[in-house]
Chain A
Amino acid sequence: MTSTTTPTLSVRNLRTWFHTQAGLVRAVDDVSFDVHPGEILGLVGESGSGKSITGFSILGLIDPPGRIDGGQILFKGTDLATLSKEELRQLRGNRIAMVFQDPMMTLNPVFRIESQMVETVLSHERCSRKAAWNRARDTLAAVGIPSPAERMKAYPHQLSGGMRQRVAIAIAMLHKPDLIIADEPTTALDVTIQAQILAEMQKLCAETGTAMVWVSHDLAVVAGLADRVCVMYAGRVVEAGETDDILDHPRHPYTVGLIGSVPSNDRSGDRLYQIPGMAPSPLALPQGCAFSPRCEHASERCRAEQPPIDTGGGRSYRCFHPQTGALL
């Protein structure tokens, strides 16, 4: 990790809270991380851990009753909260782009691909329609769509799921953004198509120096893709560090359990390690460490107070009883 360059994205103590009628939901609570140019950060967690809300917060896509209640989101050193609506609009889709899980939500079903892509180009740049069209076609080719000129004329429903996701990625890549937030873009795809998309994303990040935040529940995908990993649980980052380091020497008991639960190792037939219980309701988080009711190492202290972030050697974790790193 080079700390001398300005990170593309620096999230500092972000708090996104939802003030619902049923009570306060701390969906994202005190989350911090940096992403440097060309780096891929994996944001891993189970459903309800706040990983997607973190992504949405960065783009300012939080709707009431949700609100960013604290912390800073610095994009190349500028605090996004200080920008006006128009300045934000200039950034979004241009310098910061997002790829969602379901491309049908991104693409407008009643417009051809070409109209949607040309519109995206022209909304951020002054150029001729012809030039915009050519750029759109070249970007489609870059994400591996065969005969892009023909596909430009197609409507979203005429494309397969993998093709649609490529179009969504191409739209995100149109302006060669500095930062891409990818929210589970391959979860709905087949294994071979997923590998194609991952290959394209990897190539694009390496070639253009784009930083990427890859939000996913799939630890195995992140293992193959990310430089660094943040593991989230109940709205907090419980462990962060280099991918190899985290996967080989997890310190937080939740990370240890998560790695043990992935059935892709070679001990077939054995029982998998299972984390007992289930994720707590975000409305009624346990006192102290949110993981303590499911943790076999939990002590009185864990149930009473929040463990602070412990940093050292490029690693950080929130735990009073860090594990020695022996895998299950």
Chain B
Amino acid sequence: MSTPILMQANQVSRLFVKRPDYAERLAGLLGAKVASHTVHAVDRVDLTIHQGEVVGLVGESGCGKSTLGRVLAGILPASSGTIQTPAGELASLTGHAAHAQRMATQMIFQDPMSSLNPRKRVRDIIGEAPLAHGIVARRDCEDYVVEVMRRVGLDPDFRNRFPHQFSGGQRQRVGIGRALAVKPKFLICDESIAALDVSIQAQILNLFMDLRHDLGLTYLFISHDLGVVQRISDRTVIMYLGRIVESGPTAEIFKAPRHPYTQALLDEVPRLSNRKRRFHAIKGEIPSPLNPPAGCHFHPRCPHAMERCKTEQPLLREVGAGQLAACHLLDNAPRGANP
């Protein structure tokens, strides 16, 4: 791809360690074996995001998609690995460069009620950051807020209202306005439309697409809803238990998924065109991330699992044009064939 790279994650991991509590430390002192609990929320992930593209990040709850989003946004530091930005490595940025990078990446959360300060007026929610960062002067702030509110489809007359005085869809627009107010280049949307009604979802999705068109934004769109991701994203990345199992151009992934998990996931998506169908479920539950299965994380649920899957972790390899999948079944398969 010729478009410049906006962000590139190399082998990024994020661990959460539960420190042993008092009783466990005591038991440890007395000679009992106390294991510390480590969750590999994100496990050696490579991800490249080009300027101007929409990347859909899909997975079920607990797969680490939100954690990855937060690491890329700089909210959580990565435990290991590097994140390259045009200005340099994310963690090593200092001073003005770090400041600019933080502003260029903004996040929009799932629940606007808990991500907006309930005691602030919309005027202040949207206007505070640009004012603090010197994007607008105090006397122009009012006009700036009006402009941002118009852009996200809110009536500027509501700028003195509090978040609770809005409906869910409008609140989400306030959240989008707040993110846009600092003129970001990259928006990370973490399940931003999951809590909205279908007709409101469509309105917000259209707003995202319009903003992308007008402002040339790049999106990382985190969602569990494959229908939404198919509609909005150029590239789709599928995660399972902290690892990327498949990634590639959205059209390719939805037409010819190569990883058994992706295939199963796509089969499960309820669609308007699938009437009175028999639901066939992937057997079993998502394993606990505290104790993931060895080898390929998906093998206990995989219909094609072999001996090798239980011990050896499959690596991502190219299986088609721009399409990567991590599955042992694809090792010997010719490019373009399904396992």
Contacts and interface: CB of A to CB of B under 8 A. Distances in A.
The answer to whether A and B belong to the same complex is yes
Interface of A: 46-47, 160, 162-163, 190-196, 198-199, 202, 217-221, 223-225, 227, 243-244, 247, 257-269, 271-275, 278-279
The 9 closest A-B pairs by CB, nearest first: A264-B227, A196-B281, A261-B202, A220-B270, A199-B279, A263-B231, A190-B60, A46-B197, A195-B268
A16 to B, nearest CB: 21
B94 interface: no
Contact of A47 (B197, B232, B265, B268): B197
Contacts of A227: 276
Nearest to B268: A195
A275 B280 CA distance: 33
Given A218-B270, A247-B272, A258 B198 contact: yes
Interface string B154-170: 00000000000001111
A195 B285 contact: no
A29 B285 CA distance: 41
A263 B227 contact: yes
A191 B268 contact: yes
Interface residues of B, number: 49
Given A268-B231, A272-B202, A278-B167, A198 B279 contact: yes
A12 to B, nearest CB: 27
Interface string B249-279: 0110010000000001101111111111111
Given A190-B61, A218-B270, A268 B197 contact: no
B187 interface: no
A217 B227 contact: no
B206 interface: yes
Contacts of B199: 46, 257-258, 261, 274-275, 278
28 contacts: A46-B197, A47-B197, A190-B60, A192-B264, A192-B265, A192-B282, A192-B286, A193-B285, A195-B268, A195-B279, A195-B280, A195-B281, A199-B280, A220-B272, A223-B270, A224-B270, A224-B274, A259-B272, A263-B230, A264-B226, A264-B272, A266-B254, A271-B206, A271-B209, A272-B231, A273-B202, A274-B203, A278-B199
Interface of B: 60-61, 167-170, 197-203, 205-206, 209-210, 224-228, 230-233, 250-251, 254, 264-265, 267-282, 285-286
A154 B209 CA distance: 47
A264 B282 contact: no
A219 B60 contact: no
A192 B275 contact: no
A305 to B, nearest CB: 25
A268 B285 CA distance: 31
B206 A274 contact: yes
Contacts of A160: 285-286
A191 B169 contact: no
Nearest to A294: B199
A223 B197 contact: no
Given A191-B226, A257-B199, A223 B272 contact: yes
B269 A264 contact: yes
A274 B254 CA distance: 24
* Most interface-central of A243, A258, A262, A267 (chain B CB within 10 A): A262
Given A217-B198, A257-B199, A278-B200, A244 B275 contact: yes
Contacts of B281: 192-193, 195-196, 199
Nearest to B226: A191
Contacts of B231: 263-265, 267-269, 272
A78 to B, nearest CB: 30
A223 B228 CA distance: 17
Contacts of B198: 46, 217-219, 258, 261-262
